[in-house]
Structure 1
Amino acid sequence: LDNISSQAAPGNPILVTHDLKEVVVAMNSTPIKDNDGQVIGTVIVLQDITEKQKIEQELLKAAKLDSLGILAGGVAHDFNNILAGILANLQLAAVKLKKHQDISKYMESSIAITRKASNLTKQLLTFAKGGDPVKKSADIAKLIRETVQFALSGSNVKAEFHLPEDLWVVDIDEGQIAQVINNLTINAEQAMLTGGILEFYGENIIFETADQYTPNHYVKITIKDHGIGIPAEIIHKIFDPFFTTKKTGNGLGLSTSHSIIKKHNGYFEVESAPGIGTTFYIILPASMNEVTLIESQKEIAASGEAKILLMDDEDSIRNVGGEMLSYFGYQVTLARGGQEAIDLYKRAKEIGEPFDMVIMDLTVPGGLGGIETMAVLRQIDPDIKAIISSGYASDPVMSDYERYGFSGVVIKPYKYEELIEVLNKVIDKKQLPLDFIY
């Protein structure tokens, strides 16, 4: 043996032979003792497991491809239903419009269905990348009710909510937590073959000692079904990627949910008894922010007549976005890409008519995206205020935007009231110093 390297897969060293061939080995050692029990040597046995590892990797790859195929089929089905709903609404709207009839309900329905498509793409991005959450303070009780009622639409399972009004606010990525609730709701529905009651409980709890949980204030959500339950011999596997007992399952739902809760610095637990049911516990840190969540349909109000530079390489998003912002009183200039945005910003500053805000797309194929453009603009104007926008919700920039010099973030597709709410906040926000960013 010429050399044994530790630069291998965790737990398995690599043996390098005299002809420089690398062999993955399993190593076992046994001490040699004399008659007095003193260790006088060691027997080391090395077993070549290179081929075994290759076979295991191929089997895992095949399992993943099979699961992804199932996932792709399910996604295609869901998207076809979404497109069918949008198409039906638009066709009805076109017919009604010709007869000068009100089409607002069809437009509103199309918007709602489009939001569903957005949530589906966010789930796919979480499956693919496990992105960091883009958090904001939220009313989790409201989120649970809306998500569950949508998931159980047309089902023979009824939801019962026991969510107190004084439940603490939490800092969460609403799309990701909705995905967790949706996954658990669908699992429960499938477990209750003849229907039944699905119970949701919420409570504020405080852990003061560092025993099982980090000391903090938490919101605990309990989701209890009365289905077939999970056998004791497999319950420890349910959070493993691609583990499933369903004929059409992909084994990604619970593993993804576990990952999401962990990235929210929370805890995800389960109890189950076959024939009685399963209970999941979601424990999330309470928000440190003083937030009053008001349920009202308020009018969108722009902050004065701010000058906005909107950069997006997609013509439809750029043009319609510009029209919408102009409608709400903003002065809008459009840019296709980063270099054009830099030129426009520089020119406006030189003539004494600077922009109050820049909205930038994160990714511009073949050109300067938001990060590269922002780096140049901050050299021109250290006090620039900019919002980063992208459909890649899992990109690290979206969850840590201030570190890249941005003052706000919006995730596509967004409602315009969401964008204007961010604009209003950012306009009054103080910019971070240049040396804060990478």
Structure 2
Amino acid sequence: MIIIDALCCVFFLYHAKRQQEDALRKFGTALVILLAQDNEVTYALRSAQPAFLDAAINRLRALDMEDEIGYVRILNNETVMIEEKSSRIKLNMEEISIKKSLQKQDTMTRQSRWSRGGVRIETHIFGHRGEILCDRIEARSREVFYDFFASVFERKTFSEEEFAAQIFGEDTVDIEKPPPVLGFVQMGLSHHKVAERTHKILWRSIVPMGTGIVFGGICIMFFLTTYLVSPLRHMAKVTLDIASGNLDRFIDIQSRDEIGQLSMNFNEMTKSLKASHDEKEKIMAQLRDHIRDLYDTNKELKAIQERVVRSEKLAAVGKLASGVGHELRNPLAASKNALFLLKKSISGMQIQNENLTLNNFLLIIEKEIERSIKIVNDLLGFTRTAKPSVSPMNIRALIDASLSRVTLPGKIKRVIQADDSLPLVLVDATQIEQVFVNLIQNACDAMPTGGLLRICALKEGSHLLTVTFTDTGCGIPDHVKHMIFDPLFTTKPKGLGLGLALSHSIIQRHEGHIELESREGEGTTFIVKLPIAYT
């Protein structure tokens, strides 16, 4: 708006300046013609009497009501008869050139030249004799003049010869011969009044007009911003909030125009969208609840299925172990007794030192019989696990008792972290020691080349005490972790697969938990959670 206003002001200022300059040229042309056609000027030039020019100069001054005439020069064909300039003009008259060749020009040209004293002159020359020559002169003082130059012709008189020639139709007299030039009139009008009038127009017309345009533009912009742009911007912001999911936003525009109607329609659309969104969220919440219930039910069914499968396996293993144990126990006992008698007989015969090979065979037979008896005892013990007889026990005492029953290899270091200030646990000491012994033995078997066994006990919540057994052994592969507590499953070459299954069964009877954390190649951690005894 400001740029357009400035361009308009510049245009009107330029147009006003051109009008003032044209008016000054017309005024100067009229004055110089009036002076050139004055009878007294003609008579003064004809008679070469400068005194006759005073009245004409005074009449010219009287017409100059705004003091625009800067200088006047009247000259005949030979010399300057009168030369005057205004007292306020700082101009040397020698800077103004005298043009005596006006009557010789036949074409109109435009010239720009520099005169003596550094005065720049723009010349307009017209082709007919008697027309006005107008120059724009800029003096060294930077003052601008419009210089007007006109010829003064001899007035034609109607002689008796010409009258007779016209009466009788004779062409002896050449009435078309141009009159002679008596002299010239030169006058300069100062440009300062043009600047003053232009300045007045600027401050009285153009500046108020520009101010009015700017003020009107500001009012229009304020109106547009208040009643059009701001509501639209508010609607755009609310639209972005709704697009981001905030359906509680509404457009608060109270007007009776199209924007108000649009805001009402937009609010209705938002209400409908919010209702649809709430209905969808309600349905989705119900679906999520159903899915959660199905997941929990499926999880429970899976757990029940695992317990049923485990129970069936345990029952099958128990039945098998009970039958096999009873059938194998007596032959193994007889074999052990026979081996004892055989060793006694060989010792009585005093050949033990003489036949070392026989003695080694006897040791192998004895070792394998003991191993078979242990397997049978384990099978029978797995089937005869009784309900635990619980009592408050110190967890550190249980760990120490379990470690005393296992011979740790010299390459395995142990670290025990269990404070005596820990609360007592409500357990069957014999059965829990059996679990701990089995976990410690498994850790030692997982570190045949040595390692670190860390046993740590700490309180978890207000109901459970956690005991962790961590080794740095080979770890358990991921694909067999889910079978590690199944009976008859083992990763050992000579294992039976009953130790962890029996441990899991004992911990469950104590209303506790046993968990496995292992990463192949990095080690294994068994986590046993036992209930705390309350006193």
User: TM-score scaled to structure 2, two decimals?
Assistant: 0.31
Structure number with the bigger relative contact order (C-alpha 8 A, sep ≥ 6) is 1
Higher helix share: 2
User: TM-score scaled to structure 1, two decimals?
Assistant: 0.37
Structure number, greater radius of gyration: 2
Higher strand share: 1
